[in-house]
Amino acid sequence: MKKPLYSISATELLTRVYEDLSFLVPNLIPAVGVIILAAPPKTGKSFLVLFIAFMLSLAYPIFGYTTPEPVQGLYIAMEDNEARLHRRLKKFGIEGNDNLVFVVKIEPGETGIDQIDAYLEDHPQVKLIILDTLGYFFAQSAQSTSGFLDDYQKVRLFKDLAERRKIAIILVHHTRKMPDINDEFNEVSGTTGITAAADAILLLRRARGRNEAILSCTGRDFEDNRILLQPDFKTGNWTVVEGDEISYLTGERREILRVLKNSETPMTPLQLSKVVFKSSKSISLLLSKLYEEGLVDKGEKYGTWFALKPNKPKEDIKLYKFESLQDPA
């Protein structure tokens, strides 16, 4: 006999009482669900998630918010070893912390998820898991195929675990090289099946050689926003800084923006190349980044660009302010 379809009326649904949404970090990391944190290689994403896990484990302030109590975490560092983790932890200047536990070896694929589930059965106090990285975890397994349904199912395995155990799982992942001028979150490596299954997506950008970063955030239960960050790799700390994104641009992008601001009409990449002294192809890629960051927009004439006014980013993006970091309750 086939299983009957369960349904509920809008009236009955509205009469029920459900738990309020909760966050480990408001408007950034939901308390229950899967979070994708993606960035190009060597951007500092492993340092960032370690900082988040460490600060939460001691109930220290993080991005202007202090969690009510320590959050016990399990960090699965598949691309690191104990010696490297030791060096990174020493930067925080704290000798002991039993609320944060590390694993450097785990079985790939579903077998590894079963291992995590068994660990949670024995350690129900753990409320945060970090897997670094998602690609490495599945690359060694029989589930290394890639397609929308395959990618969706991979993340769905973690989502089912997160919902069943009432925990947050951060999956560290990579981005693809080519920018997406329509949606920056499409830069997450793999198909859209990965982002479709996630509850929140964090996209980290940091220009090489610069000590500033932008963390773009989107989620099912909070508005899109951006956090301007300043990492200190000597101490392991990441701090929120106030200001606009213009001050964190590379020299080339800043110059393109300056030329567009001074131009009375929108310009093409070819026109810009005669002033900025870069190839039109390179300028097109830089314009794509500026577009993602809400600093330029497309002109009415095909192939032209113009600078947006300061403090007026694209309407669907908000800068992350300290006021938004307060507990929603």
Q: Give residue 328's pLDDT.
A: 33
Q: Which tokens go with 94? A: 């704290």
Residue 173 · residue 188 · CB < 8 Å: yes
Let me know if residue 226 belongs to a domain.
Answer: yes
> Pick from 68, 44, 69, 21: which is nearest to 202 by CA?
44
Flag the least confident range among 4-18, 144-158, 239-253: 239-253
Q: What is the pLDDT of residues 18-31, one digit of tens each?
A: 888 899 998 899 99
More confident residue, 142 or 36: 36
| Banded model confidence at residue 6, pLDDT cuts 50, 70, 90 | very high
Let me know if residue 317 belongs to a domain.
Answer: no
Let me know if residue 17 belongs to a domain.
Answer: no
Flag the least confident range among 2-16, 91-105, 159-173: 91-105
Q: Give residue 274's pLDDT.
A: 85
* Most distant pair of Cα atoms in the chain: their distance: 73
Helix (H) or strand (E) holding 57: helix 45-57
Amino acid at 221: D
Let me know if residue 196 belongs to a domain.
Answer: yes
Pair 251, 232 in one domain? no
> How far is the C-alpha of 97 from the C-alpha of 55, rounded, in Å?
11
Q: What is the pLDDT of residues 118-157, one digit of tens each?
A: 999 999 999 999 999 999 999 866 655 678 999 999 999 9
Q: What is the CATH number of the domain that holds 298?
A: 1.10.10.10
Check whether 325 has a pLDDT greater than 60. no
CA dist 219 → 114, 130, 203 (Å): 27, 18, 12
Q: Give residue 181's pLDDT.
A: 63
Q: Which domain holds residue 262?
A: 246-307
Q: What Rg, from alpha-carbon coordinates, does the chain have?
A: 22
